[in-house]
Amino acid sequence: MKSIIKKLTETFGPSGFEKSVRNVIRKEIRDHVDSIKSDKLGNLIAHIKGKGTKVMLASHMDEIGVVTSYIDKNGFIRFSNVGGFFPVHSLTSRIIFENGRIGVIGEERRKSMSDPVEMTKLYIDIGARDRKEAEKLVPIGTFGCYERGFEDIGKRIVAKALDDRIGCAVLIEVAKRLKRKVKNDTYLVFTVQEEVGLKGARTSAFGIDPDIALAVDVTATGDTPEAKKMAVKLGAGAAIKIKDWGIVCDPKIVETLIRIARRNKIPYQFEILERGTTGATVIQLTKGGIPSAAVSIPSRYIHSASEIVDMDDVEAAVKLIVKFLKTDQGGLKNNR
């Protein structure tokens, strides 16, 4: 899987500019599904025909980024965030713009190094000598994202945009292993604009109107020095979400995932995420309501240029979802 993860994470794709990512996924998955299409918003929807419960799985294609908002007389660029762009993670990081131009994030002098890093104090240096040159190279309204290559460090990998290209990679691998043999009518959805409001998950769920849904995304960990206490760590298995700030996951789906994991000896752990959410939050509220849950891949340094995941957790997520889809989930349709 590492080769496709590398390809996905090194592809340009901030919110609203998912086209290149979508093209990569389409090529990888088209021979493993019965049909594939893009909707009006840009979501990529793959269908594996089944006679049972209509199940939707959703991973988002977009990554956090920036958009240029002002250029000063010396050619330094001010910018706005696209999604959860954390200033503290960004100093001296490289940014690549949609036209391929590279810049470096700098900051104004702070009165004290103990002062917080503030977005309003940051700028991007693209090597321009003045405003006129900068405007030609990177006009106002140009989108960009982190520029950082994929690194294979054994059982673990480092890359930008693992949130949520790792979820996309999981769904691609799921499709390949299913070989079009499912017990449920299965939709694998690669959504747009999650980082700016869960938009693609909302519209695609409305169009598909599934019986049940699973989001596949990253989650934080509590396994680094003096980290906030959280019962999730790298290498302990797929994280079955119980709750985050946007959703209480459907208990029957959670119970089913736990049962499948135990029966098949798939490593798993429980996720309660105090900050952050996934597309499951808006899928749950679509139309008359859709029972929803999530399977997460633990990740360190989320929303930075160097996120880390463990391939054993990725493998556990793939196995869990494959087994879930190969089991008739008719009992989850009307679970009240």
Query: Could you give the CA distance from residue 56 to residue 45 in angstroms, rounded to a whole number?
Result: 10
Neighbours of 136 (CB within 10 A): 9
Look up 194 and say whether it is catalytic.
yes
Query: Could you give the CA distance from residue 297 to residue 328 in angstroms, rounded to a whole number?
Result: 24
Catalytic pick among 194, 195, 271, 307? 194
> According to DSSP H, which parts of the chain are helical?
2-9, 19-29, 87-90, 131-137, 162-178, 199-208, 251-263, 280-283, 311-325
Extended strands (E) in the chain: 35-38, 44-48, 54-60, 65-71, 77-82, 94-97, 102-107, 122-125, 143-146, 151-153, 156-159, 185-191, 212-219, 238-243, 268-272, 292-298, 307-310
Query: Could you give the CA distance from residue 59 to residue 331 in angstroms, rounded to a whole number?
Result: 24
Structure tokens at 302: 């989320």
Nearest in space to 244 (alpha carbons), one of 219, 227, 267? 219
Indicate which residues carry an active-site annotation: 194
